[in-house]
Copies of this chain bind each other. A is one copy, B any other.
């Protein structure tokens, strides 16, 4: 029932395409859902994908375009004429249509729009194109069912029949006044259970969550999640109904946002995937590695300043990677907690309270870890003095690392910069440097060299 691509399946399809066996290829794709076909096309090479698309009818192909990943989509669009693209667009809902047109270069954009025969559809798409991608306007579609508050239930049902024939599924019926100002919603339940002569204004539900066209996608995701909404209407400055957002678009956004935070924390610059080309993967990975390398070179310089210690306290050098690693680990933990807290609005209370909490927490962690390190160094045959010195330095390094991990994201957030930027390699690298710096200067002081 749920389709899954296997290597055998792909080989069969590629073989049939190579043989130009149109009938057999059609037979395979005929029964598949457009989302499944898109998944197959993402795996095929460009010529194969275009061969399949040219075979299928435009109703199916438009649904497929909507589901293709960005790389495949832009290549396929290049192979189609502006007229062909317009035919596909004609079949799509406004939000999907706008997303596809947004991928085109400017001159092609205008040509495609000019080719769209349904002028109202074209106007809706043009309207949508002016919003930011991650705003309510960028996520919304123009397809919705709205009824006037002055209508009767009978008029509603009639009008809904007409509107419903033009759009896909109906999940919610909006109620507006004569100026298209959003008043509330009509539940399917009340439509099914009241007499046909009742006026809409007597039965509609005035409580309705809505968002403004310029609201950011992450706020919309929070609202829809908190109030368990499947759809949310979008209004303009005059509170007029301009579109609505369905949860599936928001789910895609949530997933993308989570992936992006995860990738930032792992030190990946671009949205790279396991099956990207080697060149893309290098481009996504190299920048933070270079930063890490420069951080490492700073450590080299710090350590070289202490070569006098090599004779009497060579063990300090054996412990340097341990200290750097602990500083990095603690910093990553602290920054992850604070970044998630900021995203979920649970970082409240004063800076001083948070400072106190972070210091006590690190002190506790530091004491336990230090006890382990001191035991190890004694067992290892090192002096008490050396062991205690390492233990003390470790506590100080852990406290410092957790403060850096906590307050750099808070600072970035206050400045309006995405705090997730400060996770991963950034925190690890800066904590490595500070950790080694503190460790050696403190040891110098404690051990007296």
Task: Work out how many copies of this chain go into the complex.
Answer: 2
Q: Does A228 reach chain B (CB closer than 8 Å)? A: yes
Interface residues on A, range: 35 or more
Residues of B within 8 A of A373 (CB): 293, 297
B285 x A35 contact (CB < 8 A)? no
Q: Smallest distance from the beta carbon of A12 to chain B beta carbons, Å?
A: 15
Residue numbers of A with Cβ under 8 A of B are 1-2, 4, 7, 33, 35, 39, 43, 157, 160-161, 164-165, 169-171, 187-189, 192-193, 209-210, 223-230, 246-248, 250-252, 254-255, 258-259, 261-263, 265-268, 272-275, 278, 281-282, 285-286, 288-290, 292-293, 295-297, 299-300, 303-304, 307, 310, 314-315, 317-326, 328-330, 332-333, 335-338, 340-341, 344-349, 357, 360-361, 364-365, 368-369, 372-373, 376, 380, 423-425, 428-429, 432, 436
User: Which residue in chain B gives the minimum CB-CB distance to A299?
Assistant: B321
Residues of B within 8 A of A261 (CB): 262
Provide the bound-state CA to CA distance between A116 and B49, in Å. Answer: 58
Q: Could you show 18 A-B contacts with beta carbons less than 8 Å apart?
A: A157-B192, A160-B192, A161-B193, A169-B187, A169-B188, A247-B251, A261-B262, A274-B340, A274-B341, A275-B348, A288-B333, A292-B325, A296-B319, A296-B322, A297-B322, A300-B319, A300-B322, A328-B428
Provide the bound-state CA to CA distance between A357 and B258, in Å. Answer: 26
Provide the bound-state CA to CA distance between A340 and B258, in Å. Answer: 11
Of the residues B7, B304, B320, contact of A320 by C-beta under 8 Å: B320
Q: Smallest distance from the beta carbon of A210 to chain B beta carbons, Å?
A: 7
Residues of B within 8 A of A318 (CB): 299-300, 303-304
Residues of B within 8 A of A157 (CB): 192
B289 x A369 contact (CB < 8 A)? yes
Of the residues B273, B310, B424, B436, contact of A321 by C-beta under 8 Å: B436
A290 x B372 contact (CB < 8 A)? yes
B330 x A289 contact (CB < 8 A)? yes
